[in-house]
């Protein structure tokens, strides 16, 4: 059986829809992982110990196990405790939580690297601990960690392919559906790879722009 | 927690963990070879080799590993490559991590101080001798820790081949979640074995890093 890429164009619409879902999942999970990462970083550093230590255990467990395993846990675990979420939502939560833990690790380092004088100065000016974190420390920390967080976003885009296994009809599952009708795996997986590559190029360009703007603001 | 169930399925998870270890070790070895070749290509004087190296890194790192596994396993037969799921998994994972290792190794090599190369060349060593006797030993020291990070990602990445039905840890966990409806127990069981593998690997990497460190 030779290769014949002319089987791909008839499924253009299906693949495009899948690609749009991939973008939607990536953006939703990226937003969740960004704000989740900030929240987790603050918890890991400043929460009282009965919260801090269990949280660190959770973070350690999430960083040491595969994303695919976590997706199964979240999808089937939620069903078991009676929460029947749509696959899309479960996928976004799974991806978002996984990368929030990785982002939190980076943001913690960023927070610790902010000059102590900034914290002391803000407290002396009468800001509360919460205000100091929210308005002085965290914004400076975020700025310094944009490049590594950007790398996590790129990893997130590629790992979004994993949510196909819990039944989200994104790019990977869309190509699998086309394959089950045409029996042409090579052509469709290569087409899917090309789509991911293009989306990835767009994401990288976007991240570079953000990095440049932040550098100017500094 | 259903401890009876955990004890009953535990042997199957150990067996699956052994498959995960085999996948990890074999694809790591392949990855190291691909990484070394890739780094050599990216740093070579030939434009063609540099282009091939850059294309390898860009294409592999720009697309999902899952898709790469699928292209090889499901698409392979169409271009005359017929592989068992385990073999396809090892090849795809190794080729994939090799692209990341290419960048790790290249980074370590180019961060060796330029003065070292210049001094060695001035002393009359050839380009090759300089690389073998001066640059490489220093670069090897620099690359152990970042390669450890790559290997850590690879071990967790082996879970992907569950999607082509290789009976490793994640596949086993998924199967028992389906048959027992105990997702938490199965997650902790598989998770504990992954953590153990990653812990041992991490310790080995730190030990190696300390062994070769300059006193």
pLDDT tens digit string along A110-121? 999 888 899 899
Convert the pLDDT of each residue in A148-168 to its tens digit: 999 999 999 999 999 999 889
Mind spelling out the 3-state secondary structure of B97-129? HHHHHHHHHHHHHHCCCHHHHHHHHHCCCCHHH
pLDDT for res B195 = 94
Q: Cβ separation of A197 and B59 shorter than 8 Å? A: yes
Contact A189, B164 (CB under 8 A): no
CA distance A10 to chain B (A): 19
Convert the pLDDT of each residue in B52-101 to its tens digit: 999 999 999 999 999 999 999 999 999 999 999 999 999 999 999 999 99
Contact A149, A105 (CB under 8 A): no
Query: Which residues in chain A touch residue B77, judged by CB atoms under 8 angstroms apart?
Result: 1
Q: What burial class does residue B182 get, using C-beta atoms within 10 Å of its C-beta: 0-12 exposed, 13-18 middle, 19+ buried?
A: buried
Q: Cβ separation of A2 and B170 shorter than 8 Å? A: no
Q: What burial class does residue A194 get, using C-beta atoms within 10 Å of its C-beta: 0-12 exposed, 13-18 middle, 19+ buried?
A: middle
Chain B residue with CA closest to A22: the answer is B64
pLDDT for res B42 = 95
Residue A29 has pLDDT above 80, yes or no: yes
Position A106 confidence tier, pLDDT thresholds 50, 70, 90: very high
Tokens 């210049």 belong to residue? B118
Q: Is the dihedral of CA B158, B159, B161, B165 positive or negative?
A: positive
Cα angle A34, B152, A38; round to 5 = 15
Query: Which residues in chain B touch residue A185, judged by CB atoms under 8 angstroms apart?
Result: 70-71, 74-75, 78
Query: Which residues in chain B touch residue A159, judged by CB atoms under 8 angstroms apart?
Result: 64
What mean pLDDT do residues B102-108 have?
A: 95
Position A217 confidence tier, pLDDT thresholds 50, 70, 90: low
Convert the pLDDT of each residue in B11-56 to its tens digit: 999 999 999 999 999 999 999 999 999 999 999 999 999 999 999 9
CA distance B116 to chain A (A): 30
Instruction: Give the nearest partner residue to B63 out of A68, A80, A193, using CB atoms.
Output: A193
3-state secondary structure of B213: coil
B83, B87, B89, B90: CA torsion to nearest 10 = -140
Position A216 confidence tier, pLDDT thresholds 50, 70, 90: low
Residue A42 has pLDDT above 70, yes or no: yes
What is d(CA A70, CA A66) in angstroms, rounded to the nearest whole number?
7
Q: Cβ separation of B156 and A65 shorter than 8 Å? A: yes
Position B182 confidence tier, pLDDT thresholds 50, 70, 90: confident
Instruction: Give the nearest partner residue to B183 out of A76, A172, A189, using CB atoms.
Output: A76
- Going by C-beta distance under 8 Å and a sequence separation of 6 or more, which residues neighbour residue B163? A68, A165, B66, B69, B70
Task: Give the range of the structural domain holding residue B13, as residue numbers without chain letter.
Answer: 3-212
Q: Cβ separation of B75 and A185 shorter than 8 Å? A: yes
Q: Is the dihedral of CA A108, B204, B184, A31 positive or negative?
A: positive
What ipTM does this complex have? 0.90
How many domains are contained in chain B?
Answer: 1
Alpha-carbon Rg for chain B in angstroms: 21
Residue A1 has pLDDT above 70, yes or no: no
B157, B163, B167, B169: CA torsion to nearest 10 = 40
Q: Cβ separation of A196 and B163 shorter than 8 Å? A: no
Sorted by where each begins, the domain ranges of chain A are 22-167
- Hey, what are B5's tokens? 């169930």
What is d(CA A208, CA A213) in angstroms, rounded to the nearest whole number?
9
CATH classification of the domain holding B174: 1.10.3720.10
Which of A191, A161, A159 is CA-nearest to residue A178?
A: A191
Q: Cβ separation of B66 and A162 shorter than 8 Å? A: yes
Give CA A50 to chain center in angstroms.
27
CATH superfamily of A22-167: MetI-like (1.10.3720.10)
What is d(CA A101, CA A112) in angstroms, rounded to the nearest whole number?
17
What is d(CA B172, CA B180) in angstroms, rounded to the nearest whole number?
12
Query: Which residues in chain B touch residue A58, judged by CB atoms under 8 angstroms apart?
Result: none
Q: Is the dihedral of CA A19, A20, A25, A26 positive or negative?
A: positive
pLDDT for res B93 = 97
pLDDT for res B83 = 94
Q: Cβ separation of A61 and B191 shorter than 8 Å? A: yes
Convert the pLDDT of each residue in B129-167 to its tens digit: 999 999 999 999 999 999 999 999 999 999 999 999 999
CA distance B122 to chain A (A): 39
Mean pLDDT of chain A: 91
């Amino acid at each position: 059986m030779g290769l014949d890429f002319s089987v791909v164009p008839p499924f253009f619409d299906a693949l495009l829809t899948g690609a749009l879902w991939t973008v939607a999942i990536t953006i939703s999970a990226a937003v969740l992982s960004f704000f989740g990462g900030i929240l987790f970083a603050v918890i890991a550093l400043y929460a009282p110990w009965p919260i801090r230590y269990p949280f660190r255990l959770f973070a350690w467990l999430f960083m040491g196990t595969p994303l695919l395993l976590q997706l199964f846990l979240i999808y089937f675990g939620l069903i078991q405790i009676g929460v029947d979420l749509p696959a899309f939502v479960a996928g976004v939560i799974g991806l978002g939580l996984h990368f929030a833990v990785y982002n939190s690790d980076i943001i913690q380092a960023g927070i610790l690297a902010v000059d102590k004088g900034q914290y002391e100065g803000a407290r002396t000016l009468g800001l509360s601990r919460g205000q100091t974190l929210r308005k002085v420390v965290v914004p400076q920390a975020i700025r310094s960690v944009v490049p590594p967080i950007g790398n996590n976003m790129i990893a997130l885009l590629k790992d979004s392919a994993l949510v196909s296994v819990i039944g989200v009809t994104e790019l990977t599952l869309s190509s699998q559906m086309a394959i089950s009708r045409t029996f042409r795996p090579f052509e469709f997986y290569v087409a899917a790879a090309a789509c991911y590559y293009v989306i990835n190029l767009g994401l990288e360009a976007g991240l570079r722009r953000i990095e440049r703007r932040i550098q100017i603001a500094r | 927690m259903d401890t009876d169930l955990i004890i009953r399925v535990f042997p199957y998870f150990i067996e699956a963990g052994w498959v995960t270890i085999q996948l990890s070790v074999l694809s790591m070895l392949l990855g190291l070879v691909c990484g070394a070749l890739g780094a050599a290509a990216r740093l070579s004087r030939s434009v063609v080799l540099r282009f091939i190296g850059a294309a390898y890194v860009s294409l592999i790192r720009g697309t999902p590993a899952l898709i790469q596994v699928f292209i090889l396993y499901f698409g392979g037969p169409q271009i005359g490559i017929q592989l068992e799921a385990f073999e396809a998994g090892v090849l795809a994972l190794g080729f994939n991590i090799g692209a990341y290792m290419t960048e790790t190794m290249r980074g370590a090599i180019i961060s060796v101080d330029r003065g070292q190369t210049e001094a060695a060349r001035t002393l009359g060593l050839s380009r090759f001798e300089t690389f073998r006797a001066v640059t490489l030993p220093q670069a090897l020291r620099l690359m152990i820790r970042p390669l450890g990070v790559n290997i850590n990602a690879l071990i967790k990445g082996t879970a992907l081949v569950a999607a082509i039905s290789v009976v490793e840890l994640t596949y086993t966990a998924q199967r028992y979640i389906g048959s027992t409806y105990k997702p938490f127990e199965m997650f902790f069981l598989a998770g504990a074995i992954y953590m153990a593998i990653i812990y041992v690997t991490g310790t080995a990497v730190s030990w190696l890093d300390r062994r070769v460190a300059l006193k």
